[in-house]
Homo-oligomer: A and B are copies of this chain.
Amino acid sequence: MDAKFLQKLLIDVAEGRVTPYEAAEKLKTLPYEDLDFVKIDTHRALRTGRGEVIFGIGKTPEQVAAIMQRLSESTSPVIATKVGPEYYEAAGKAVPEGLTYYDKAKLLVYSEARVRVPSAAHVAVVCAGTADIPIAEEAAVTSEVYGVSVDRFFDVGVSGVHRLLDKIEEIRTAKAIVVVAGMEGALSSVIGGLVEVPVIAVPTSIGYGASMGGLTALLAMLNSCSLGVSVVNIDNGFGAGFLASLIVQGK
């Protein structure tokens, strides 16, 4: 049932062609899927301006390109995560304009041109070292795609807590903080104890042996003794960047 059908039915009632009782019956027995006027529609993407996301893992470059083409016709931005440059190439044939590929972050973004007013409120993305940077970039670029400025702090780790303290005042000016860490995942606890804004912890699969593919960092972050810390899945930089932008914009 679309809006036209509804209006026609109601006109029929108004004009006496259909009795109110018949109309009520008709409305009751309409299959749910036709109720396209129900307020909670599925068009969340368009309405909220947050577009759509394609998880790249387990999909071929061709599949991602096809999905991206279809989605880009009706919404913006469209983000594909965890994709290599070969996905960019494939998508370039399907979506000739508006594509950007973020190398370090392994993100492929379709976005219509738009002028952004830089936000005063911003997100800080913090990580300890070279190996965590791809996931940190995934988070940072994601926040930026959703229109939130990002400050990057990519060289602070708990093994040199003074380097972190040197930066903490800057970090504290953010409205939300994404902390990316592998190995023992202690960074989110230390930062969580120094700030008063939400901290989103992203464990990474960096490490070896008993790091168990990031599980150790994940568990450690969940057990943080600091307040205001919550956790997303291992290597889920996108999710953290999305949530951080949501918190910053949400007020």
Contact = CB atoms under 8 A, between A and B. Distances in A.
Contacts of A222: 184, 209-210, 216, 218, 231-234
Interface in A200-221: 200, 203, 205-221
A84 interface: no
Interface residues of A, number: 108
A225 B16 contact: no
A31 to B, nearest CB: 5
26 contacts: A6-B24, A10-B21, A10-B24, A29-B39, A32-B165, A35-B38, A40-B169, A42-B166, A44-B196, A158-B190, A159-B227, A161-B165, A184-B189, A184-B219, A184-B220, A190-B190, A210-B214, A210-B218, A215-B219, A222-B233, A228-B242, A229-B243, A230-B230, A230-B240, A231-B231, A247-B250
Interface stretch (A50-58, A85-93, A109-117): A50-58
A205 B234 CA distance: 15
Contacts of A24: 3, 6-7, 10, 37
A61 interface: no
Interface of A: 3, 6-7, 10-11, 13-14, 16, 19-21, 23-24, 27-29, 31-33, 35, 37-42, 44, 48, 50, 53, 55, 57-59, 63, 67, 82, 121, 128, 130-131, 157-163, 165-169, 175, 183-186, 189-190, 192-194, 196-198, 200, 203, 205-236, 239-240, 242-243, 246-247, 250-251
